[in-house]
Amino acid sequence: MAEHYLTTGGTRDILMKDVMGKHVVTRKEMTTRGGVTIPAGTRLKVVSAYRSEYHLQGPKCKHCGISARIRCHRNDIEVDPADFS
């Protein structure tokens, strides 16, 4: 089975299993299937990963308690240096 990697900006590659439960930062603006827009630079938590696809979850809204979930490709995100130092 081939290993799939998420780049850290050229310093080293990280296996998908190593990012589970960690945070990543979006490289571009994305929209969920429900129409919620997530701007570039947003910090999200990796909740699952399969091949080159990641499922991310944002923080809960302070007012309603809902959190956005989005599915994206590994090229659309980069690791958060705070979680991988």
Q: Which residues contact residue 68 at a Cβ distance below 8 angstroms, ignoring those fewer than 6 apart?
A: 32, 34, 36, 38, 57, 58
Spatial contact of 42 and 58, defined as CB atoms under 8 Å apart: yes
Domain ranges of the chain: 5-79
Choosing among 2.30.30.40, 3.20.20.70, 3.30.40.10, 3.40.50.1000, the CATH entry for 5-79 is 2.30.30.40
Predicted local distance difference test score (pLDDT) of residue 35: 87
Does residue 70 carry a pLDDT above 90? yes
Q: Is 69 exposed, middle or buried (0-12, 13-18, 19+ CB in 10 A)?
A: middle
Q: What is the pLDDT of residues 2-28, one digit of tens each?
A: 455 565 554 456 777 888 899 999 999
Q: What is the pLDDT of residues 28-63, one digit of tens each?
A: 999 988 888 899 999 999 999 887 789 999 989 899
**If residue 82 lies in a helix (H) or strand (E), which one and from where to where?**
none
In terms of pLDDT, which residue wins out, 21 or 1? 21
